[in-house]
């Protein structure tokens, strides 16, 4: 079953999101019979060497019945911004920073500029305090200052239940941005992130990090060479990217909670809406991750040689931290931060409400005035020492090696059924058995099969249960698989022009 080909699975209609992308030269890839799209070659060999991935597939399956974005910011997010980004069944080409003008409108709607909202982030890390690229108010970048200087982007993504998925590729520099926003108590926070967070990150990377030095002037070959060298060798440069991601998250959080405060009189439910956040940024040989909550990025890499066979074994390395009360380190941190509140964790949940300990939004667990907007049993009566949910992300950079094979980026619904190693071995077997297969869809098929077996149903019976009722058997699930390295697989890309 190709990424855009004719061999569709029996559950094709149930995939809310399904897309694929293939990098590299058309002739080298040996692509034939491409359906619903074409492969787009790199513009020159120098740029091709900066890419550390060969293809990407993504798929998402819903279980929750949820309303679409419910008119936050007077419908701006749902009606004007998200349609620019969403392309659930294929990649399509857009100008760099396609929602930039909408961000200006967003700032106006919030009655303050975006940069002013985030000059004093709610959460700080030591690296931010001492960062030589300290945050300063910034003007909006020009359209030539898009994703790491790219003029044009390939985008894909969409929604499945309360999950949001987004992928952005720049062919000009071989960069890849992947994000999963796993919403809860509604999809508003995930929709807000899907509509704004990529551009917020881009603004911080270009104006608050090391990129103005690299991307100034005409971005000539000398600057590009310096850029490549810094990516490979400079820990200072890498920290600048991580700090920019951190600043962007603080900015998005402040923007969202400000919006909630503006609209909570009409929509008090907004104070309880939140989202887990997972961002993967692949640039050169460096893979950066930012996460809040329990979504995961899993690296499949070859470890030490087996003593008997002398062959390297494929192992699973989790690149992200799990921010839940089931993580004893996280649980201890939360309890330590609230020593005078004996009800910090009740029945395995923070304040009896959430299993995740870090998340975007969910303002009623962070601010007293947002908690006060709730009525009756929904309001937390003993909010002694907020915030109880942190927005301090886990940040990581991994330098890709020749032993690294692929990365699986997924919401927590996948890991309700499979361990990290099981996920890696399933993808590996999928690739070995059928080089043109779609590993993201394959993982979802395996999940449905296991969920059906656990419930005593056939796969067809389970999939016939309507969204909402099906949540009893599995969660919304979003998966992306990034094949690393420059060796081309034979696959059918669904890159729409």
pLDDT tens-place string over residues 221-262: 445 555 555 555 578 889 999 999 999 999 999 999 999 999
The 8-class DSSP code of residue 12 comes to G
Residue 299: enclosing H or E segment and its boundaries?
A: strand 296-305
User: What is the rounded CA–CA span in Å between residue 357 and residue 359?
Assistant: 7
pLDDT at position 451 is: 97
Query: Mean pLDDT throughout 102-114?
Result: 51
Indicate if the pLDDT at residue 270 is higher than 80.
Answer: yes
Instruction: Supply the DSSP string of 413-443, one letter for each residue.
Output: GGGGT--HHHHHHHHHHHHHH-TT--HHHHH
Of 211 and 250, which is predicted with more confidence? Answer: 250
User: Which string of b and e fits 413-435 if b means at least 16 CB within 10 Å?
Assistant: bbbebbebebbbebbeebbeebe
CA angle 13, 19, 25 (to 5 degrees): 145
Of 132 and 63, which is predicted with more confidence? Answer: 63
First to last CA, the chain: 21
User: What is the rounded CA–CA span in Å between residue 339 and residue 323?
Assistant: 19
Asked if 312 and 303 count as a contact pair (C-beta separation under 8 A), the reply is yes
| C-alpha R_g of the chain | 22
Q: What are phi and psi of 427, to 5 degrees?
A: -65, -40
> How many CB atoms are closer than 10 A to CB 346?
11
Q: Give 99's pLDDT tier (boundaries 50, 70, 90).
A: very low
User: What is the rounded CA–CA span in Å between residue 84 and residue 23?
Assistant: 23
The residue behind tokens 């297969």 is: 437
> How many CB atoms are closer than 10 A to CB 216?
11
pLDDT digits (tens, 9 = 90+) for 280-330: 999 889 999 999 999 999 999 998 766 666 678 999 999 999 999 999 999
Nearest C-alpha neighbor of 157 from the set 260, 279, 39: 279
Q: Give 117's pLDDT tier (boundaries 50, 70, 90).
A: very low
12-323+393-496: which CATH architecture?
4-Layer Sandwich (3.60)
User: What is the rounded CA–CA span in Å between residue 193 and residue 278?
Assistant: 11
Residues in the chain: 497
Nearest C-alpha neighbor of 287 from the set 392, 396, 379: 396
Of 148 and 187, which is predicted with more confidence? Answer: 187
Tell me, yes or no, if the pTM score tops 0.85.
no
Domain range summary for the chain, segments of one domain joined by +? 12-323+393-496, 324-357+359-392
Minimum mean pLDDT among 74-78, 146-150, 216-220: which range?
216-220
């Amino acid at each position: 079953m190709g990424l855009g080909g004719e061999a569709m699975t029996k559950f094709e209609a149930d995939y809310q999101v399904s897309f694929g992308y293939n990098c590299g030269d058309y002739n080298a890839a040996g692509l034939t019979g491409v359906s619903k799209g074409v492969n787009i070659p790199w513009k020159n060999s120098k740029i091709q060497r900066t890419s550390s991935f060969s293809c990407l597939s993504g798929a998402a399956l819903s279980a929750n019945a949820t309303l679409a974005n419910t008119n936050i910011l007077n419908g701006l997010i749902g009606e004007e911004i998200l349609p620019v980004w969403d392309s659930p069944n294929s990649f399509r080409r857009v100008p760099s920073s396609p929602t930039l003008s909408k961000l200006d409108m967003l700032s106006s709607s919030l009655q303050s500029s975006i940069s002013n909202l985030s000059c004093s982030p709610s959460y700080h890390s030591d690296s931010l305090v001492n960062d030589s690229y300290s945050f300063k108010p910034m003007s909006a970048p020009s359209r030539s200052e898009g994703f790491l200087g790219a003029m044009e982007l390939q985008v894909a993504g969409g929604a499945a239940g309360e999950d949001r998925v987004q992928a952005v590729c720049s062919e000009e520099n071989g960069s890849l941005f992947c994000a999963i926003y796993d919403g809860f108590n509604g999809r508003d926070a995930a929709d807000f992130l899907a509509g704004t967070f990529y551009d917020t990150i881009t603004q911080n990377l270009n104006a608050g990090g090391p990129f103005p030095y690299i991307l100034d002037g005409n971005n000539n070959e000398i600057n590009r060479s310096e850029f490549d060298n810094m990516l490979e060798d400079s820990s200072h440069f890498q920290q600048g990217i991580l700090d920019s991601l951190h600043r962007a998250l603080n900015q998005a959080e402040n923007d969202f909670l400000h919006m909630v405060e503006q609209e909570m009189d009409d929509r008090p439910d907004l104070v309880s809406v939140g989202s887990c956040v997972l961002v993967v940024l692949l640039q050169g040989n460096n893979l950066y991750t930012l996460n809040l909550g329990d979504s995961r990025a899993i690296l499949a890499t070859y470890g030490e040689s087996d003593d008997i066979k002398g062959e390297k074994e494929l192992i699973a390395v989790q690149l992200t931290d799990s921010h839940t009360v089931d993580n004893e380190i996280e649980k201890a941190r939360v309890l330590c931060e609230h020593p005078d509140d004996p009800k910090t964790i009740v029945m395995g949940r923070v304040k009896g409400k959430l299993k995740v300990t870090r998340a975007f939004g969910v303002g009623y667990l962070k601010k007293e005035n947002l908690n006060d907007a709730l009525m009756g049993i929904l309001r937390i009566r003993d909010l002694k020492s907020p915030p109880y949910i942190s927005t301090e992300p886990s940040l990581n950079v991994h330098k890709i090696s020749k032993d690294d094979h692929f990365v699986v980026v997924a919401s927590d619904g996948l890991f309700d059924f499979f361990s990290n190693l099981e996920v890696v071995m399933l993808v590996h077997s999928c690739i070995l058995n059928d080089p043109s297969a779609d590993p993201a869809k394959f993982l979802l098929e395996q999940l449905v099969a296991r969920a059906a077996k656990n419930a005593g149903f056939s796969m067809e019976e389970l999939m016939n249960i309507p969204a909402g009722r099906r949540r009893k058997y599995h969660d919304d699930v979003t998966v992306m698989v990034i094949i690393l390295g420059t060796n081309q697989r034979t696959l059918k890309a669904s890159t729409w022009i």
